[in-house]
Structure formats: structure tokens, C-alpha cells
Chains A and B, each alone.
Chain A
């Protein structure tokens, strides 16, 4: 990989708020995108991630707060003065222009010298494998090729920031995987800062240096993918990340079904959990089947996934998904005892959903 060609600029949002007819689209958002890094805005539809991106782009303007690019306040500036390029979900290719003209659109607007246009077009087309398609119209291209043209239009400008709004959502799964890697590689080799919106957590986890997980117009958690996965800040994040996501079970439900433990260890736990309004989180992939001590459950359904099997177990009123090796035969109606390492347990306040830092003492004894 070559050394980066351009220096990405940092993006910072300071207390950005935007309302539509009194409804908050985004509320008091604070985000920092360090220069030259890849930040993914992730969240369910309607969480305000696209609005946030459009505020960074200058296609929408914040009601309150500041948008900083580099050390410049661009809050009120039009998109063209923000040193950004953007790729849209629908690609926004000009249907009457050829691939070459589409890619060159911005350079022509800015009257870049013709020779430079030619040289950069050749380079960009080569980088994206579009050299043979330059004379075609967008309608004569496949979805993946159209996507590349949109990418080409964004990177030929050599802007210090690139914004992408769900650029891969119109592609089929296989193509999405290759494009994912390709976009990440482009970003790293060219060196621009990337703000990328998606609702696909696989994209977020695989591509990002930083994931910003949003919900209802607010940032739930911002951090590296590993942190988001390993230390979810809220129950919402825990229940969003992972396929399938983390099991969230009321503590009282879990303790009520403990089996094989010393009664001295378990007495009173149930009440503690109920009093503390505790929600326990455990990832399906961390659950093991055991013959010894654990949580006693009823198997409701079994989903065979090849190497793994997804077992849906009933614990009181809650359901717990466990991803276990396919070699352990289970069938619906059977009972199964589940166990896991104490380190893999997460604790959240049931009412606010926030992560509880310290592990309630006695559970550590239970799961080794």
C-alpha cells in the first residue's frame, strides 16, 4: 500500500440539534472524526444518522450547534466550501452523461485544466476498473459498476473528506462484501477522512475505525468496533450489535432458574436482582451447554446453521439464544442447562439501560 496521497481533515460536531416540525431529528450530537480515519454512523432507520451526515455535508443545516471541518467552522457554509465529496445511496449519477462525464462533473464545474482532467480520469478509472466503460451511460452498467462510478466521482476530486450514505444497500450480498473491502482500502490508500452511514452492523464492524451508534437522534455510544462489541455502553447497543445480538434477560428470571449450585451461594440473589432492577446481558456465542451447574432452560426451537446451531431457550418469560456447536444434539421441548464465563456477563440498569460498571459480587462465584 502506498503512502496516503492527501491529508484527511477532522470533522467535529458540537452540540448539533436539528428539528423537523418540532420533532427532533438529531439532538445535541457531539462527535469527533479524527483526520484520516473511518467513522461509521450506525443505527436503525429513523435514528438520525443520515440527517447527521447531511448536516456534515451542508445539505441540511443545524438549528443549534457547530460543525467543524479541520479547524474551520463550516456550520453555515454551502457543501462546495466544505472540502467534501459525497456518495449517495441511489448513486445520483447523471443519467444523460457518460461514465467519464459523470466522474469529471465536479472537475468541469471547477474548470480544472483539461490535461489534468484527463490524467486524473485515467487514474481514477484504472483504480476502480472502469477504464473499459468510460463511454457508457449509467443505464448500461450493472449496479456494482454504477456504484464504482459514484465512488469515482467522489475520489477524483481529491477532497479531504468523503461522506457516504448507505452506498452499498442497493447491491447484492456478495458484491457488498467485496465493495466493503474495496472502499476501506481506497480510504486507507488515499487517506481522506470518511463518514459513512449504514444500518448494516457488519459493514460498521468490518470497516470502521470508529463506530457511532445512534438511536432516536442521539449518540448511544461512539468507539472502536471492538469496544462497541465488548463493552456496550447501553442495553440498546448490546441488543443491536451482534448476529444474533446479545441476550438481555431480567436478572431475577435468570437467578430463579439456577441449578446445581450450592444453595448458600444462590439464596437471596433473586431478590437482590429484583431490587436492583438488573438486566443481564450475555452473547449467544459465549453460551455453552453443560451437565453441571448453570441456568436451567426449556428448548423452544433449534436452528441449524451449519457449523453452529442456534438454540432458542426459554427462561421464565424471557428467551435466550445460544449459539452452540452443531455436534450437541438438541430438540425442541428438551431441557438444557446453560453456562458461561463470569467475564462474559454484562450488567445493565433495567430502567435506564445504562451499563453498570462493577459486577455484583456474588455472581462472580457462580460462573467460573
Chain B
């Protein structure tokens, strides 16, 4: 009897969170998978089951492949550099330097600022002719103006820079916390043995930071698919889809072109991609990681 009651209470306590989790995560995900096998409903024509037709269409869609490769380069550009930069910044602000609180704050600021607002500032940096970059190029080196956002060859790189700037400070906080949990006495023990800074970093610090690196890299992968706000503001995916990413393309397909069936198909692809990457990372790293 008592056991029964405890069971009821347990579910009652869980239910608010469960309700939201099912309503906004599990149900939509399931619904998306189902929708991906249906045609887009239009006017009086309801959605009908079309099997894998959406998937076949996707494989034929040159924009999908373009967007996928963009996303690959976006991820390849942002993930390693933002993690590396985060680690460097964390090491730097963890050392005994003057004004390190200020440095920490400065590094963390991009995380706090809304990306939409920040994108506008970066728009100014990139503006051809009188933007910050051209001011420096022209003023200091006498180089001609360039249109970084208007050129399909440079626009993705410009987006990558913004994303790195936004993310590195956030990851730095995790590294900083991890660094501070490494006892200073380990450094002293290594000193006594004559281990240099680099040796200590490579053989002791880096391995002890691995759990953080796994966490951060999973987040970085997710963010490389998720972080598209600045594309709305700065390029709208252009020119010629050169800066369009998968999530941005899904948004366009669903809410600009109203091809919701196809958008659902693209979403399923993204979900699968993310799950495979996250699980893969765990398996890849897990053997090497020492958890305290």
C-alpha cells in the first residue's frame, strides 16, 4: 500500500517535466519522422503517404548536398579552432596575470551577448569600403576594399569566424573550471622530477582535461548544426547558398517554401547525423578518458 502510494507520488513529481519533455521533444521528433514519409498537405489536398519519395527527392536535390558540404566545412572550421582557442584562453586566464578577472570577463562576453545583436556588429566589421576590416586593410596596407560577405568563396569563412568568436569564450569557462580542479601539487611534483611546462601539459594536464574536452566537443558539434542566427542577419544563406547550413535550409524549406514534408525529411537526416556524431564521440574518446 505504502509502496503503491510512493509510486504514485513519484510519477506526480515527475509529470510536469515529463509532460513538457514529451510535448516539445519526443512527440515532435516522432511526428517529424512520420511526416517525412508523407507529402506536404496543401489546401484541400491532405498529406498522403508517399513512402521514401521525400528521401529520393532529397538525394537528387543539389542544394541539399551543397548545404551538407557547407555544414561539414563549417563544423570542421569551428570545432577544432574554437576548442583550441578555448583551451589557450583558459590556460592564459588561469595563470597569475594582472587583470585576469577582466580578461575572463572579456573572453566570456560573446557568450552572454545575443547572437543577433552581435551579428550586426560583425556586419559592420565586414562592410566593404568602410567596415573595420577594410579600414585596416586600406588604411594600414593600402589594399583595395573586399566584400567578404558578397563573395561565395569567402562568405562561409566569414561565418566561421563569427561562430568561433561566439563559442570559444563559452568553452573557455568549462576548461577554466577543469583547470582549477587540477591540484597545484601535481605541478610541483612534476617540477621536482624536472618536467618542463610542455611535457607537463602534454602528459598530465591534457589527459586530465579529456572529460571536459569530450563534453565541449559534443557541444561544439551540436552547435555547429544549431548556430544559424547570424546567417539570418548577415547573409540569408547567400550568395548562391554559399553560407547556407542544414538547419537554415530546413527553416527555409519549411517556412519560406512551405514544403513541410520535405523539411521533415531534412530534419530526420539532421537528427540522425547528430546522434551518430555524439555517440561516435563517446566511443572514440571513452577509452582514453580518465574520469576522476
Instruction: Specify which chain A residues have a CB less than 8 angstroms from the CB of B290 in the assembled complex.
Output: 95-96, 137
Which residues of chain B from 169 to 191 have any CB-CB distance to chain A below 8 Å in the complex?
183, 185-186, 188-191
Does any Cβ of B come within 8 Å of A240's Cβ?
A: no
Q: Check B207–A110 contact: CB distance below 8 A.
A: no
Q: Check B191–A79 contact: CB distance below 8 A.
A: yes
Does any Cβ of B come within 8 Å of A88's Cβ?
A: yes
How many residue pairs link A and B with beta carbons under 8 A? The number is: 58
- Closest chain A residue, CB of each to CB of B199: A109
Task: Give complex CA distance A57, B194 in Å.
Answer: 12
- Closest chain A residue, CB of each to CB of B196: A109
| Interface 1/0 per residue, A67-83 and B, CB below 8 Å | 00000000000111000
- Closest chain B residue, CB of each to CB of A139: B292
Q: Check A78–B191 contact: CB distance below 8 A.
A: yes
Q: Check B195–A57 contact: CB distance below 8 A.
A: no
Task: Give complex CA distance A85, B190 in Å.
Answer: 11
- Closest chain A residue, CB of each to CB of B182: A95
Q: How many residues on chain A are close to B (CB under 8 Å)?
A: 23
Task: Give complex CA distance A337, B199 in Å.
Answer: 69
Task: Given A109-B199, A137-B290, check contact A92 B189 (CB 8 Å).
Answer: yes
Q: Check A110–B189 contact: CB distance below 8 A.
A: no
Q: Check B189–A80 contact: CB distance below 8 A.
A: no
- Highest count of chain A CB atoms <10 Å: which of B183, B193, B204: B193
Task: Give complex CA distance A78, B207 in Å.
Answer: 25
Does any Cβ of B come within 8 Å of A105's Cβ?
A: yes
Q: Check A106–B193 contact: CB distance below 8 A.
A: yes
Nearest Cβ on chain B to A117's Cβ, whole angstroms: 13
Instruction: Specify which chain A residues have a CB less than 8 angstroms from the CB of B199 in the assembled complex.
Output: 109
Instruction: Specify which chain A residues have a CB less than 8 angstroms from the CB of B245 in the assembled complex.
Output: none
Does any Cβ of B come within 8 Å of A194's Cβ?
A: no
Task: Give complex CA distance A77, B121 in Å.
Answer: 51
Does any Cβ of B come within 8 Å of A13's Cβ?
A: no
Q: Is the interface of B mostly helix, strand, loop or mixed?
A: helix
Q: Give which listed residue, A85, A88, A137, contacts B185 with CB less than 8 A.
A: A88
Instruction: Specify which chain A residues have a CB less than 8 angstroms from the CB of B207 in the assembled complex.
Output: 96
Q: Check A79–B195 contact: CB distance below 8 A.
A: no
Which residues of chain A from 4 to 57 have any CB-CB distance to chain B below 8 Å in the complex?
57
Q: Check B185–A92 contact: CB distance below 8 A.
A: yes
Instruction: Specify which chain A residues have a CB less than 8 angstroms from the CB of B185 in the assembled complex.
Output: 88, 90, 92
Does any Cβ of A come within 8 Å of B87's Cβ?
A: no
Nearest Cβ on chain A to B214's Cβ, whole angstroms: 14
Nearest Cβ on chain A to B277's Cβ, whole angstroms: 25
Q: Check A95–B194 contact: CB distance below 8 A.
A: no
Does any Cβ of B come within 8 Å of A94's Cβ?
A: yes
Does any Cβ of B come within 8 Å of A248's Cβ?
A: no
Does any Cβ of B come within 8 Å of A59's Cβ?
A: yes
Does any Cβ of A come within 8 Å of B216's Cβ?
A: no
Task: Give complex CA distance A285, B80 in Å.
Answer: 71
Q: Check A109–B193 contact: CB distance below 8 A.
A: yes
Instruction: Specify which chain A residues have a CB less than 8 angstroms from the CB of B190 in the assembled complex.
Output: 105, 109
Which residues of chain B from 46 to 76 have any CB-CB distance to chain A below 8 Å in the complex?
none
Q: Check A105–B193 contact: CB distance below 8 A.
A: yes
Does any Cβ of B come within 8 Å of A157's Cβ?
A: yes
Q: Check B186–A92 contact: CB distance below 8 A.
A: yes
Q: Check B195–A86 contact: CB distance below 8 A.
A: no
Task: Given A95-B292, A109-B199, A137-B290, check contact A79 B186 (CB 8 Å).
Answer: no
The 5 closest A-B pairs by CB, nearest first: A80-B194, A106-B193, A96-B290, A92-B189, A92-B185
A interface residues with partner B (beta carbon < 8 Å):
57-59, 78-80, 84-86, 88, 90, 92, 94-96, 105-106, 109-110, 137, 139, 153, 157
